[in-house]
Structure 1
Amino acid sequence: METKPLPKDAILVVNAHSRRGQDMFAQARDGLEAAGIRLIEAHAVEEPEKMAATVRAAVDSGAPMVIVGGGDGSMSGTVDELVGKDCVFGVLPLGTANSFARTLGLPLDLDGAVKAIATGQRRRVDLGMIDRDYFVNAASLGLSPMIGRTVPHKLKRYLGRIGYLLWAVKCSVGFRAFRLTIDDGQKERRMWSTEVRILNGPYHGGVELSDNAAVDTGEIVVQAVVGRSKPRLAWDWYAKFFKLRDRDAHTEEFHGKSFRIDTKPRQRISIDGEVLAKTPVTVKIAAGAIEVAVPAS
């Protein structure tokens, strides 16, 4: 079935606090207009906590497309405002890992992302949910939230994924494994784990972690690194980063529409890089929740 073309009118909202947001706002605004997008409004938001309200106002104004510039946290923090609305979500990847953009097949350079919005097509995609909070790409519990909660902003901003890696080594010293319970409503599974990834797409932290997660399957994927060994967790990230043959040797995956996840002790949950929840939680899929702008096939 042929979809409607992408709108040519849009509102631009850029997280100017993100890694490249301050530098890229003017370039994005000028590039979009040069590519034929008529910007009804353009906002450089200095305070990240105001991103959602700015996007909400843009959607409520009737804009046919809202283009959000920032990292995965900016996308997750604003996407709730588009669920159930006749408004296309445009993505400008200006963050550190840009996992959602990778999942969508978007170019990670600004010019390429602008071209996708100006000349691409609509695609209806799923969103993940942690209780009632929508997210675009991935949530995690274990070591990742500890890193996300404590990593210095300047380290993240200027060193990107290398900064995360350095901080991960520091955080791992005091980290301990936890007891994990996963319940799909029919069967309850218990195991020791060092990290759990809740995936709406294959990427987390810019690394492809799953061959089975995608944004159009109508299922959420829960991937657990099993056991109590911290070296095993480090090896899992290494093996997946370099796509080694045995990269799935230390993980178990569960697929479905909804799961109840609990841990002992309770674990904080990072949702696309922002620590926003704590176990126990219900995770589920919101199938076909929004339309996004992607490159033409």
Structure 2
Amino acid sequence: MITKSPKRPLPRQAALIVNAHSRKGEALFAEAKEKLEEAGIDLLAAHAVKNPALMEETVGKAIADGAPMVIVGGGDGSMSSTVDQFVGKDCVFAVLPLGTANSFARTLGLPLDLDGAIAAIANGRRRRVDLGMIDQDYFVNAASLGLSPMIGRTVPHKLKRYLGRIGYLLWAIKCSVGFRAFRLIIDDGQQERRLWSTEVRILNGPFHGGVELSDHADVDSGEIVVQAVVGRSKPRLAWDWYAKFVKLRDRDAHTQEWHGKAFTITTRPRQRISIDGEVLAKTPVVARIAAGAVDVAVPANP
């Protein structure tokens, strides 16, 4: 396990960078800025970024300008697209959960309401956490292949913005009509496994899509978890999501998990890969862990 670092307090100075395109980003930016200042955080800069493609550049500039902590507001895609900038830097990554699923915030034990998240940033502590990697791309929470990338690539932004996780569910039903199972080849360097699968989740933390999918993945375990829904049945995939959503006792009946430092993942046919909700890669890939990669802000009493 990666040790925590309680002796260094969270900085009192920070930059605030909010993805105004996220589900609640534009509506809550001004309120977040005001409440952070009221909580005693000295904001060196504050930006509501209307073009999500500029989030990484804006965060990188804030770090280069010397901000000891950067508060990123948005969903899991915003966190994943900016976290690379923190690797190897003495800058705390703080999260304002303003997206749809907010899986990374759930993993960190952060409150999902604005006041609670700000309280964690103002009065919390540092925690050193792992990041996942798909080839050279860091991610905070989860990557997936199968039905999820099809949903992420095609879901209308307004459906996601106004209906949240229910919107994802409705779109998933639509996408499942033309979806087909695939052959999965997973190799940890010692053993190669081949099986049919309808979805593969590559987990740095337990949550994906706001649903707790694994009892074994955590952000300070030093290992990546690969979880596959086995077989060719689409109803089985739907049941797996339902069982995990409502936390049935036998919710893991149709999945297999592997734990380790790195896996080579190949599929036939090739599959697109969604990385924290954004479709950014395609098999074959190497999935691995970057242990103890960044400092994050978490509540003082998890």
- Scaled by the length of structure 1, the TM-score of the pair is 0.99
Segments of structure 2 that go 5 or more residues without pairing to the other structure are: none
Deviation at 1:109, TM superposition (A): 0.2
The separation in 1 between residues aligned to 2:56 and 2:162, in whole angstroms, is 25
Secondary structure of the residue aligned to 1:74 is: helix
Given the alignment of the two structures, is residue 125 of structure 1 paired with residue 129 of structure 2, yes or no? yes
Deviation at 1:3, TM superposition (A): 2.3
Deviation at 1:207, TM superposition (A): 0.3
Amino acid at match of 2:253: A
Equivalent residue number for residue 135 of structure 1: 139
Amino acid at match of 1:285: I
The separation in 2 between residues aligned to 1:54 and 1:28, in whole angstroms, is 18
Equivalent residue number for residue 78 of structure 2: 74
Given the alignment of the two structures, is residue 150 of structure 1 paired with residue 160 of structure 2, yes or no? no
Deviation at 1:2, TM superposition (A): 3.8
Moved more, 1-10 or 66-75: 1-10
- Out of 196, 200, 204, the residue aligned to residue 204 of structure 2 is 200
Map 1:179-258 onto structure 2 (within 5 A). Answer: 179-258=183-262
Equivalent residue number for residue 116 of structure 2: 112
The separation in 2 between residues aligned to 1:282 and 1:78, in whole angstroms, is 21
Secondary structure of the residue aligned to 1:76 is: helix
Secondary structure of the residue aligned to 2:239 is: helix
Deviation at 1:62, TM superposition (A): 1.0
Cα deviation, 1:120-139, whole Å, max 9, x if unaligned, reads: 00000000000000000000
The separation in 1 between residues aligned to 2:210 and 2:124, in whole angstroms, is 23
Secondary structure of the residue aligned to 1:54 is: helix
Given the alignment of the two structures, is residue 36 of structure 1 paired with residue 40 of structure 2, yes or no? yes
Amino acid at match of 1:134: Y
The separation in 1 between residues aligned to 2:11 and 2:256, in whole angstroms, is 41
Cα deviation, 1:242-285, whole Å, max 9, x if unaligned, reads: 10011000000000000000000000000000000000000000
Q: Which runs of 4+ in 1 moved over 4 A?
A: none
* Residues 17 and 70, structure 2, Cα contact 8 Å, conserved in 1: yes
Amino acid at match of 1:238: Y
The separation in 1 between residues aligned to 2:32 and 2:133, in whole angstroms, is 30
Cα deviation, 1:42-98, whole Å, max 9, x if unaligned, reads: 000000000000000011111100000000000000000000000000100000000
Amino acid at match of 1:222: V
Deviation at 1:20, TM superposition (A): 0.5
Equivalent residue number for residue 18 of structure 1: 22
Secondary structure of the residue aligned to 2:263 is: strand
Cα deviation, 1:108-159, whole Å, max 9, x if unaligned, reads: 0000000000000000000000000000000000000000000000000000
The count of corresponding residues between Structure 1 and Structure 2 is: 297
Deviation at 1:41, TM superposition (A): 0.4
- Scaled by the length of structure 2, the TM-score of the pair is 0.98
Secondary structure of the residue aligned to 1:269 is: strand
